[in-house]
Amino acid sequence: MGPYQFAGGTAVVTGAASGIGEALAVQLAARGSSLVLVDRDEDRLAGVADRLRSAHPALTVVTHVADLSDDAQTAALATTLAGEHPETTLLVNNAGVALGGRFDQVTLEEFDWVMAVNFRSVVRLTHALLPVLKAHPGSHVVNVSSVFGIFAPAGQAAYSASKFAVRGFSESVRHELAENEIGVTVVHPGGIKTRIAESARTGSGVSVEEYEEGRKQFAKLLSMPPEKAAAQIMAAIEKRRPRLLIGWTAKVPNVLVRLLPGSYWKLIARRAAPAKPPVAA
């Protein structure tokens, strides 16, 4: 399979109103891709789209507002994307949410909210757009997992479950789609400066004091600009890389998990308080 061709293609990007999604939209447009941008924040999404239309008047930039935590909205969006954008050659499942709290501190409804956005929407949108992507050999899929899809810290049962699921789903689908000349990249970002930590929900059973302490600890790790992360993702897409680890906060845990699969958390816990907001997008 040759390099992915950005120019002349159309990219669907979820979570495009800020962070990595917005940075990817900017860099995709700069490489000549038309855009289909998805987010629940209508105002921010409109601002991103307007700036891109102004900077790249020759490209098509379309927006769709949807709350991916609502399965019905996600299903409707999936049908719309497949029907209205048959020219799609790249799908970037980037949208994500976070929930702070141990498993016994969150409700099942809160847990399901995370799974709906972080995993079920990835499955639904990928499934709906597969016929479109197959119609364009050389297409590509990017699913954004997390460093918490490599290791699972205390206080992140819901987030880790969703991101490990994205990882497994991506690897299996990659093997299936190889014969269709469609590439699949799963991305594991580390400490990226996005809005996911500040917009994370707190489990119903988590005290304010406990949550704020966790937030402060992880804020120290959020150092990489989303533009830099997006540039690495762009390179991975072009080169058809199957897996991308972004930043030392992803690469170091990856090594620890390989060396100490059953006891890595003892080492990590010494350097950080129990995890509340995630360090990754």
Active site residues: 159
Radius of gyration of the chain (CA): 18
Cβ atoms of 138 and 2 within 8 Å: the answer is: yes
Pairwise CA distance, residues 255 & 47, whole Å: 40
Which residues lie closer than 8 Å to 124 by C-beta, 6 or more apart? 71, 74, 75, 78
Supply the DSSP symbol for 33.
-
Cβ-contact 33, 90 below 8 angstroms: yes
Dihedral pair phi/psi, residue 198, rounded to 5°: -70, -25
Contact in structure between 88 and 133 (CB atoms under 8 Å): yes
**HSE-CB of 265 using CA atoms within 13 angstroms:** 12
DSSP 214-229: HHHHHHTT--B-HHHH
